[in-house]
Amino acid sequence: MSFTVEKPPLPAFYDDLDLTLDEILHRLRDGARNRHSAFHTPAVATVTPQGAPDVRTMVLRGVDNAPLRLRFHTDKRTGKAYQLSQNPLGFCEIYDSNCKIQLRLACDMTLLDDGETVERAWAQTRPMSRACYQTETAPGTEIPAPGAVVPDTARIDEGRSNFAVLMAEITTMEWLYLAARGHARARFERDGTHWTGCWLAP
């Protein structure tokens, strides 16, 4: 006796570039507000002065349209802040193991430490997060042991001077959807405020 194993249906975006682009934008926007989404914590890479990649996980705080930009929060005393002052090119990578989706984003990155965008972001930041920016010891500084630097929760608003917003303006997107029937890979290039897509060999 032989058995036929039914394969799960493919999503509508599988072989449709327009729907794939819609899916990317939907997942990015959802990632900014849904902490359970894999898109909530992309890996963000910058370039060191020596030309080496430097990667860390960051929390996606917001998504802007036209141009498409991702918003992250950071301490302006960090290594990545210095790296961006020397080289604005960056990269973001996201992988959702549940949905078998990988998204790779080439970006032009800008660090903002004043202006309306920053003030609005700071106003929306939770007190426990604000405390992280208040410490006098900059992130990455050598310390004697874990716990040697403890934020003073009574002075959390003093951290505003160290707070910055990292804006990652996306220039190219590469999408990979893993499927047993054949992986789907696509690239989208920005043309002004529009995107031009094509299929790639997986």
Q: Within a 10 A sphere around the Cβ of 122, how many other Cβ atoms?
A: 18
Measured between alpha carbons, how far is 44 from 26 in angstroms, rounded to an integer?
Answer: 20
**Within-domain flag for 157:** yes
**Within-domain flag for 6:** no
Q: The domain spanning residue 183 has which CATH number?
A: 2.30.110.10
**Within-domain flag for 5:** no
**Within-domain flag for 4:** no
Tokens linked to 115: 């202006």
**Within-domain flag for 141:** no
Measured between alpha carbons, how far is 135 from 58 in angstroms, rounded to an integer?
Answer: 20
**Within-domain flag for 140:** no
Query: Which is nearest to 164 in space by CA: 127, 116, 111?
Result: 111
- Is-contact 19 12, C-beta < 8 A? yes
User: Model confidence over 139-187: pLDDT tens digits?
Assistant: 888 988 988 887 777 777 888 999 999 999 999 999 999 999 899 999 9
Task: Give how many domains the chain has, as a whole number.
Answer: 1
Structural domain including 85 reads 12-135+153-200
Mapped onto helix, strand or coil, the DSSP state of residue 151 is coil
User: Model confidence over 54-105: pLDDT tens digits?
Assistant: 999 999 999 999 899 999 999 999 999 999 999 999 999 999 999 999 999 9
